[in-house]
Amino acid sequence: MTDDILDVAVIGGGPAGLMAAETIAAAGKSVAVFEKMPTFGRKFLMAGRGGLNLTHSEDFARFVQRYGARSEILAPMLAAFAPKDLVAWAEGLGQATFVGASGRVFPKAMKASPLLRAWLARLEGLGVQLRARAEWTGWSADGGLLINGEVVRARAVVLALGGASWARLGSDAAWVPLLRRSVDVAPFRAANCGFDVAWSAVFRERFAGEPLKNVALRHGDKVARGDAMVAGYGLEGGAIYALSAALRDAIEAEGRAVLTIDLRPDVPVETLERRLQAPRNGQSLANFLRKAVKLSPVEVNLLREAHGLDLPPAPAALAAAIKAAPIVLTGVQPLDRAISAAGGAAFEGLDGLALRGRPEVILAGEMLDWEAPTGGYLLQACFATGVAAGKAAVAVLK
């Protein structure tokens, strides 16, 4: 492809790879980004279709804990490129941001495309070579990179090849066989995904697509507040995604998981009981619940899915049922339908972010074994590991 030797080749044109390239180019090094898809940042653009959630404004100590078992490993990288740094970076590209009511941070444009266009223009201005339709398939016998069957030579390599969700956008884990001999790869599993529920036929047909607004979901000692959505197959949505790791693990271990839904988390059970003591005056139970405690039709029927068709008549028992509706989850939606994936290259088999014994080969982004809920945490870690990988590549060149 070229007789020149690059300082760094970046394989993968998503947020982690592009951020690594920017970090390397800003240090004055020559860098090319090779992306097998026809365009860059395809998953980034897809993530922005509903409003690009860049990061989160919560306290940093709490922010880091969102990464669960990988919090300690990711903490230094997240501190080095923190949420405030990501906001400053976006605004430096002309994309003003705002903090939503939930603490999530969005660009005011609420789309990824203006940010990506400005970013690619900046990279080209820094001298970054952007090469689309360029697929990496491994190393040549003498250590060069095989790109579309030709050899490309670089002093260091950043691999930012993505995880295994949304394969049609390029994250298909095709890299796993190429690296399995060099690092342990934890199997990919669905994260931030929907879950199967054996709804009754009537409930499924009538309420699929209906939202559950401002509910509290509990599994074991974990609680998530927010919205969920009834799907034909079961449940999905932000509050579900916040518990997806625990729910997935329970289903894998036991074949099921019980999710308890509080339909009125801001109303004490005593208040509900008092309101439910009002006379029904011949109203149907559905109408009574709508007027007394403002339950929507989907919420009333969700109670019946959880507790049975004959809901308890006593106000105290009915109030308790509204505050704790158990729904049995029986399965996890397929990996390719998940927003993100758990699994990937294990940190324990790396030296920092580099392959053990090969400091010039550095990994970044979703191909690493970490997971986080939606809410800005996914993109933040992709950007932060990209910056860390870029700095590591520059350090190797020195």
The answer to whether the beta carbons of residues 216 and 265 sit under 8 Å apart is: yes
Q: How many of the other CB atoms lie within 10 Å of CB of 5?
A: 12
How many other C-beta atoms lie within 10 A of the C-beta of residue 316?
14
Whether 22 has a pLDDT exceeding 60, the answer reads yes
Q: Which H helix or E strand runs over 78? A: helix 71-80
Phi, then psi, of 94 in degrees rounded to 5:
85, 15
User: What type of residue is 324?
Assistant: A
Could you tell me the pTM of the whole model? 0.91
The angle subtended at Cα 339 by Cα 333 and Cα 341, nearest 5°, is 80
CA atoms of 82 and 86, how far apart (whole Å): 6
Residues 140, 141, 144, 150, CA torsion sign: negative
pLDDT in tens, 58-110: 999 999 999 999 999 999 999 999 999 999 999 999 999 999 988 999 999 99
How far apart, in whole angstroms, are the C-alpha atoms of residue 75 and residue 345?
Answer: 18
**Domain layout of the chain by residue ranges:** 5-190+340-397, 195-332
Q: pLDDT band for position 169 (50/70/90)?
A: confident
Please report, in angstroms and rounded to a whole number, the separation of the first and last CA atoms in the chain.
26
Per-residue pLDDT tens over the stretch 272-322: 999 999 998 889 999 999 999 999 999 999 999 999 999 999 999 999 999
**Pairwise CA distance, residues 339 & 50, whole Å:** 13
- Secondary-structure class of domain 5-190+340-397 per CATH: alpha beta
Q: Which amino acid is at 22?
A: E
Which tokens belong to 234? 């079961």
- Name the β-bridge partners of 137: none
